[in-house]
Amino acid sequence: MLSSSRYLLFALALVLLSGCSAVQGLIGSDADNTVPPTPLVEFQTLVEIIQLWSKDTGKGSTKQYLKLTPSHIQGKVFVADVRGNLVAIDATSGNRLWESDADMNITGGPGSSETLTMIGSEEGDVLAYTSESGEFLWQAKVSSEVLAAPQEAYGVVVARTIDGKIFGLDAYDGRRLWVYDRTVPSLTLRGTSNPVITGDIVIAGFDGGRISAIELHTGKLIWETSVSLASGRSQLERMVDIDSDPVIIGNDIYVATFQGRVASVALEDGRITWARDISSYAGLTADENNIYITDDQSYIWALERSTGNSVWKQENLYARRATAPAVIGELVVVGDLEGYLHWMDKSNGQFVARTRVSKDPLLAPPVAFEEIVYAYSSDGTLSAHISQ
């Protein structure tokens, strides 16, 4: 039975795709049914966190549940807000480099490559800009809302839509090259994982707990694997979604499902090499030794990459709607619903620092690059931090 402690069901809108209609309310939105977040615990601060800069970049997600996660390429950080504002920021100084207005509601992105920065809209549009100057290049229509960040490699833009389709678009002009289509269950979490491109393969997770490998240039299926199977009697209990991004290291794919499992999948053939019964919608990251995952109760886990065995588990963020983790040096960092960044020792999961970057929730996971962690608040505040 679906545990009442799974507080995310009051926080996330569910999409009912049967008949292309949507559930507008939130499950358990009555305050009496809300699980309160765990109070912040006291600990000895062992690491000094310095804020390099903080910038107001726009409207953020304006209290909508949108993971508009910053992208980073060539010394620039790109952010988009729900009102259509796309901004490029100098990653070191925080200076604004360029800004473009899409004049539409943006729900996915940005995704960036050396040449293109792309966003997706509520009405099913993919828009492409030059990463260098922000010049608008093209706009392409796809089948439905785009919640995932479009990706580009080898002249192909890959866009995922909420109705289960993946589009391959020509990076030069947005012309449609191919469409990969999967049936979407009648009831899903409102959210989609970002497709990940590795070489000439697209790895994509789908509602229903399946992960697919698709040829980048043709859209043909290479293999498909079920990470988790639905169980239970009600539609809610049988909801098994992959809403967090797959992580690829070498020949291994790491993927997490809501109400399912976290698993290691072989890139070559989709074979599952290990799996653990851990439910997650926030997501995971990895380094050379471990994967780090935020589960659906906001417990943070470290698991051995090779076996899936537990290394440590941090339980003091229960019900704080923690983001997916980021790894920076010897630290693991997550954001939460009150605008805090929580810094943990990646060897044992113990807290070493805490910083508050906003009074609004951090819905997007922190982005780590070189020695800097970037945090993007739902109010549109982008900040950069280093540890000492």
Give 20-64 pLDDT, tens digit per residue. 333 333 333 344 457 899 999 999 999 999 999 999 999 988 777
- What's the pLDDT score for residue 102? 96
pLDDT at 1: 41
Distance between CA atoms of residues 14 and 185, nearest Å:
12
User: Which pLDDT does position 114 carry in this prediction?
Assistant: 96
pLDDT at position 146 over 60? yes
Query: Residue ranges of the domains in the chain?
Result: 1-35
Which of 361, 166, 182 has its CA nearest to residue 282?
361
Which is nearest to 262 in space by CA: 233, 302, 223? 302
Backbone phi and psi for residue 53, each to the nearest 5 degrees, phi listed first = -165, 160
Question: Is residue 376 scored above 60 in pLDDT?
Answer: yes
Q: How far apart are CA 30 and CA 153, in angstroms?
A: 45
User: Taking residues 212-231, what's their average pLDDT?
Assistant: 91
What is the Cα–Cα distance from 244 to 365, expressed in whole angstroms?
11
What is the distance in angstroms between the CA of the first residue and the CA of the last residue of the chain? 45
At CA 369, angle to CA 363 and CA 370, rounded to 5?
A: 150
Q: What is the pLDDT of residues 73-118, one digit of tens each?
A: 999 999 999 999 999 999 999 999 999 999 999 999 999 999 999 9
CA atoms lying within 13 Å on the CB side of residue 131: 21
45 contacts: CB under 8 Å, gap ≥ 6: 352, 353, 354
Tell me what pLDDT residue 325 has: 99
Contact status, residue 73 vs residue 111, Cβ threshold 8 Å: no
Q: Give the contacts of 126 (CB within 8 A, at least 6 positions apart).
A: 118, 119, 120, 139, 140, 142, 146, 150, 157, 159, 167, 169, 174
Under 8 Å between Cβ of 129 and 99: no
> For 186, what's the count of Cα atoms within 13 Å in the CB-facing half-sphere?
7
* Amino acid occupying residue 117: T
| Cα–Cα distance for residue pair 80/113, rounded to 1 Å | 15
**pLDDT tens column, 305-343:** 999 999 999 999 999 999 999 999 999 999 999 999 999
Tokens of 26: 């939130």
Give strand pairing partners of 118: 111, 128
Residue 170, SS3?
A: strand
Band the pLDDT of 234: cuts 50, 70, 90. Answer: low
| Whole-angstrom distance, CA of residue 366 vs CA of residue 352 | 17
- Whether the model clears a pTM of 0.85, i.e. scores above it, the answer is yes
Q: Quick one: three-class SS letters along 73-134?
A: ECCEEEEECCCCEEEEEECCCCCEEEEEECCCCEEEEEEECCCEEEEEECCCEEEEEECCCC
What does 245-274 look like in DSSP terms, one character per residue? PPEEETTEEEEEBBTS-EEEEETTT--EEE
**Arithmetic mean of pLDDT, 172-180:** 98
pLDDT higher than 70, residue 377: yes
Q: Which of 309, 248, 249, 252 is nearest to 278 (CA)?
A: 309
What value does the mean pLDDT take over residues 214-225?
A: 98
pLDDT of res. 379: 94
110: preceding bond cis by omega (within 30 degrees): yes
Q: Is the pLDDT of residue 188 over 90?
A: no
Residue 190 confidence class, pLDDT cut points 50, 70, 90: low
Residue-averaged pLDDT of the chain: 89
pLDDT at 186 exceeding the cut of 70: no
pLDDT digits (tens, 9 = 90+) for 239-287: 667 788 999 999 999 999 988 899 999 999 999 999 999 999 999 999 9
CB 247 within 8 A of CB 270: no
Q: Using alpha carbons only, give the angle 347, 353, 356 rounded to the nearest 5 degrees.
A: 135
The model's confidence at residue 291, banded by pLDDT at 50, 70 and 90, is very high
